[in-house]
Structure 1
């Protein structure tokens, strides 16, 4: 297998056109390749500047999970810090987790940041939403978002090999009208549901509004976690 490591978007685009398979951190595909056979060409983005950014409002797809630190909002940092073991976080990438993993541990955090994705295909890079990235399994270059006023993250305890633990991600953004809006995303099993409601009148009204969205049909345990997280974030300190 020939491993391509482009240093420019034009190189990456050319390798894609030649049939190179994105490898990410190889934590998910390696076992499959050992079973089914290795591709002729694979491609890693770890030398591509656009895919290795770590900024307050941007994160590259080739960033390793253990590198996601307090340069990004708390919700994203905490989400990355709870993925797998330390060994997994030293090899798994942001892009591999969002696009390649069935758990998509970073997806709720990215959704509450109202993140947009930059992806690459054979025609070149373009921006799209996270729903399209997940559905079509695009080659992710990176994420960009608006810096939130505050954010929070909760992940229920889970057992190795057991069902995916409940995740509740929250963030508050300032809208174009100057008022605050609450973003909530919940991973319940393998499904991720996200909603946004006004929150400038306080947590009780925000929770009432959330009950009228898809989050209102969640199981009781998940609804209670949402209530706890929303109450905490709307009365808590600003995001670092």
Structure 2
């Protein structure tokens, strides 16, 4: 197998056009390749500047998970820090986790940040939302978002060999022309739900939770609803405290 390491967008496009398979950190694809056979070509974005951006409102698709620190919002930092083992986090990438994985551990955090994705195909670079990113699975160059007022993340303990553990991500954002908005995303098994509710300063958490109960989140099992409640209360209290 030839591993190609492009250092420019045009070179990366050429790799994709010539059939190179995106490799990410190879933590998920390697076992499959060993079982089913290796592709003739693979492509890694680790030398591509556009895929390695890192800042308070940006995260490149080629960034390794163990490099995701408190520069980014808490919800994303904590999500990355709880993926697999330390060895996995030292190899796995942001793009590989969101696009190349069925677990998509970072997706709930990206959803509550209302992130936009810049992606690469053989035809060019464009911006899209996370729904299209997950559905079409292009190569992720970067995520961008606006810094929330407060955010939180909780991953419940899972059973060995069982379904993926429940994940709850929450972020409170200022409104553009109206009230602030609280966004909640839950990974329940392999499904990810995302809902939001308006929030006015001084509004109690119970009122926000009542709105969320009227969405698909209200149909979750009791333990999942309890986890949502806990994160919503915690994030709103933190925002109120400044």
Band the TM-score falls in, shorter-chain normalisation: over 0.9
**1:75–1:151 CA contact under 8 A, matched in 2:** yes
Q: Are positions 1:106 and 2:106 aligned together?
A: yes
In the TM superposition, 1:70-219 aligns within 5 A as 70-177=70-177, 179-200=179-200, 201-219=203-221
**1:26–1:92 CA contact under 8 A, matched in 2:** yes
SS in 2 for 1:131: helix
Measured against aligned partners, the alpha-carbon deviations of 1:106-160 in whole angstroms (never above 9, x if no partner) come to: 0000000000111111110001111111111111111011110100000001244
Q: Under a length normalisation based on structure 2, what TM-score does the superposition of the two structures give?
A: 0.96
- The answer for unaligned runs of 5 or more in structure 1 is none
Measured against aligned partners, the alpha-carbon deviations of 1:6-28 in whole angstroms (never above 9, x if no partner) come to: 11111101111111110000011
Take 1:159 and 1:92, find their aligned partners in 2: how far apart are those partners?
22
Q: Under a length normalisation based on structure 1, what TM-score does the superposition of the two structures give?
A: 0.97
Measured against aligned partners, the alpha-carbon deviations of 1:2-58 in whole angstroms (never above 9, x if no partner) come to: 111011111101111111110000011111111111111100000001111111001
- The answer for unaligned runs of 5 or more in structure 2 is none
Aligned partner of 1:220 among 219, 222, 226 = 222
The root-mean-square deviation of aligned C-alpha atoms, in Å, is 1.4
Indicate the larger mover: 193-202 or 110-119.
193-202
Seen in structure 2, the aligned counterparts of structure 1 residues 212 and 55 have a Cα distance that, compared at 3 Å, is same
Aligned residue for 1:45? 45
CA drift at 1:83 = 0.4
Q: Which runs of 4+ in 1 moved over 6 A?
A: none
CA drift at 1:179 = 2.5
